[in-house]
Chain A
Amino acid sequence: MRRYLHLFIVNLMLALLQTSFFAEFVGGGFNPNLVLAFAFGLLFVEKDSLSLISAFMGGLILDFLGFSPVGLSSLLFVLCLELVIFIRQHVFRGWILNFLSVYLTAIVFGLFSAFPKIILVDGEFVGGIFTLVASFIFYLLLDKSAMLKKI
């Protein structure tokens, strides 16, 4: 239970930073998706089930902070992560898949961010790169520090 509480707190902080600080500082489609990056960071350190729960919680928090239908972000995150886990287990694995999956998931999420309208702005392509960098930073943090043990 404590592990879920820690995950919730981390995701809440990331969602707040993403939707207020970075949304204002970077703006538009350039905004990195920190919640998604953190979930992928967990996936990169082989914590598959934890990354799914993190994506689910983080997505839900993002929906509660905005006006899109509640559950949309968590469903998108979870579906994308499940797909990546499946590919890793049955098709191939490696950093190319990791990078591609983060980038494409960020773009897919950007596409549905104005649901029911489906819009893709140019900035999303750069935002995807920022998300990719953030996921790699989270991977390094989780891999090298005691952060993961706490979670």
Chain B
Amino acid sequence: MKIIVISISIFIFGIAGLLNPVRDGFQFFLNPMQYGLSRFARDIKGAVSFFTSLKSIRDDYVKLLEENYDLKSKLLEYSDLKEENRILRDQLKISSEDSFEQRLLLAHVLGNPSDTTNTTYLLDKGTREGIKPGNSVVLGRHLVGVVKEAGAFRSVLELVISPNLILSVKDLQTGTEGLVLGQYGTAIGFSKILPSEQVNEKDTIVTTAKGGKSVPGLIVGEVTFVEQPAAGVLRKAVVNSYLDLANLERVFVILE
């Protein structure tokens, strides 16, 4: 009976947040150990999946070679455009779009055992390093998610596939705007598309400044399915992230 009373008392203290400094200290010391164990498990899983999918890896390799030739020709075209863009920027005195890259903070992914839906991760950096709830988390220019909670030495990252995260986005190819929110914990739903607006499969979806939940211009993913239009009804599309969100190891937090 005594232990129940102690447990209830600790729970009340915990709810009031009085034990948060103890938790912060605990997490500070155990962060490297947890990261090491997570990485070890990831390596084992990676090795197992490599040997079990050798054939599909070979097929992917052939496909990637073909894509590589295609991309090399596109790269030539892109470098001309980049140079043209740089000259225009100099002329118009516009600051670089990539300025957020100077405010990036590297964080290791620790997994999140208490989240059985696999839509959040713990990061090994917190408010001590300048992280705040609402910070965008990226890998390259790809949006991974948004910081949901931040402790002194850890923070909770809400992935783009989370049904609790709604972002304002647009189709990069057609300019169609809409909202995305996670579905099924694996894909992302692109909703509120007007019947007259165009969204096609393989289009790239990027964030916009509307709603202010994320840094604009970050890649959310690629459209993989578009619902057939019905008269007068808003359409939906399914977007898949280019990233392997289940196997993230390191991410970058864009600090304010």
- Chain A residues close to B by CB (< 8 Å): 16-25, 27-29, 31, 52-53, 56, 59-60, 63-72, 74-75, 78-79, 82, 110, 113-114, 119, 121, 123-124
A21 and B38 in contact (CB under 8 A), knowing A66-B113, A75-B11, A78-B3?
yes
Secondary structure call for the A interface? helix
Q: Given A56-B6, A113-B114, 19 more contacts at CB 8 Å?
A: A16-B30, A16-B34, A20-B41, A20-B113, A23-B112, A24-B42, A25-B45, A31-B113, A56-B3, A64-B27, A65-B27, A65-B34, A69-B15, A70-B20, A78-B4, A79-B7, A82-B4, A113-B115, A121-B116
B6 & A21 in contact (Cβ 8 Å cutoff): no
How far is it, in angstroms, between the C-alpha of A2 and the C-alpha of B27 when the chains are bound?
A: 24
Question: Which residues of A are found within 8 Å of B14, using beta-carbon distances?
Answer: 63, 69-72
B113 & A23 in contact (Cβ 8 Å cutoff): yes
B19 within 8 A of A: yes
Question: Which residues of A are found within 8 Å of B115, using beta-carbon distances?
Answer: 113-114
A75 & B8 in contact (Cβ 8 Å cutoff): yes
A17 & B6 in contact (Cβ 8 Å cutoff): no
Smallest CB gap from B15: residue in A: A69
B113 & A119 in contact (Cβ 8 Å cutoff): no
A-B contact count (CB 8 A): 126
A23 & B7 in contact (Cβ 8 Å cutoff): no
Smallest CB gap from A81: residue in B: B3
Which 10 pairs, one residue from A and one from B, show the smallest C-beta to C-beta distance? Answer: A70-B14, A71-B11, A23-B113, A71-B10, A20-B37, A24-B41, A71-B14, A29-B116, A25-B41, A64-B26
Smallest CB gap from A73: residue in B: B114
A65 & B30 in contact (Cβ 8 Å cutoff): yes
Question: Which residues of B are found within 8 Å of A64, using beta-carbon distances?
Answer: 22-23, 26-27
Chain B count of residues within 8 A CB distance of the other chain: 44
**27 sampled A-B residue pairs with Cβ under 8 A:** A17-B37, A19-B34, A20-B36, A21-B38, A22-B41, A24-B37, A24-B111, A25-B44, A28-B118, A63-B14, A64-B27, A66-B114, A66-B122, A67-B122, A67-B151, A69-B14, A69-B15, A70-B19, A70-B23, A71-B13, A74-B7, A74-B10, A75-B4, A79-B7, A82-B4, A113-B116, A121-B116
Question: Which residues of B are found within 8 Å of A110, using beta-carbon distances?
Answer: 116
